[in-house]
Structure 1
Amino acid sequence: MPEPYTHVRLICCDDGGLNHRYEIRVSTFVQFDENPGRRSITGHPSKKEAEEIAKEIARSERKRTGAPVWK
């Protein structure tokens, strides 16, 4: 099964006033395939399986960063 992959972007937020900062956006992607025939070749999970993988990644990131629990 293919591994999730991460994309990182660095964005300069400078409004010309007092706010001079950088924003770091980190996105993790879990690919899925809803076509069972193609999925057997690509090894991608189904949409439901990808959702569970994504939720587990989100839980571990929330724990790592100390972010508040979702409601």
Structure 2
Amino acid sequence: MSEPYTHVRLICSDDGGLNHRYEIRVSTFVAFDVDPGRRAVTRNPTKDQAEEIAKKIAKSERDRTGAPVWK
């Protein structure tokens, strides 16, 4: 099964005024495959399995950062 992977981007927000800052965007991706035949080769989870994996990662990150829970 493929593992989740992370992409990190650093974005400079310097509007020429008083707002000088960097935004760090961290995205974690969980690949899935909807084709059963291809899934047997790629070993990727189903869409539902990937959603459960993503929810576990999201909960872990919310707990780690103290971010609010969404509805």
Alignment partner, residue 58 of structure 2: 58
The runs of at least 4 consecutive aligned structure 1 residues that moved more than 2 Å come to none
In the TM superposition, residue 43 of structure 1 has moved relative to its aligned partner by 0.3
1:2 aligns with 2:21: no
Please give the per-residue CA displacement for 1:13-68, whole angstroms capped at 9, x wherever unaligned: 00110000000000000000000010011000000000000000000000000011
Q: What are the within-5 Å matches in structure 2 for residues 36-51 of structure 1?
A: 36-51=36-51
Alignment partner, residue 67 of structure 1: 67
Name the amino acid aligned to 2:35. N
- Same amino acid, percent of matched pairs: 79
Name the amino acid aligned to 2:30. V
In the TM superposition, residue 69 of structure 1 has moved relative to its aligned partner by 1.6
Between the aligned partners of 1:10 and 1:69, the Cα distance in structure 2 is: 25
Between the aligned partners of 1:60 and 1:6, the Cα distance in structure 2 is: 15
Q: How many pairs align?
A: 71
TM-score (norm 2): 0.97
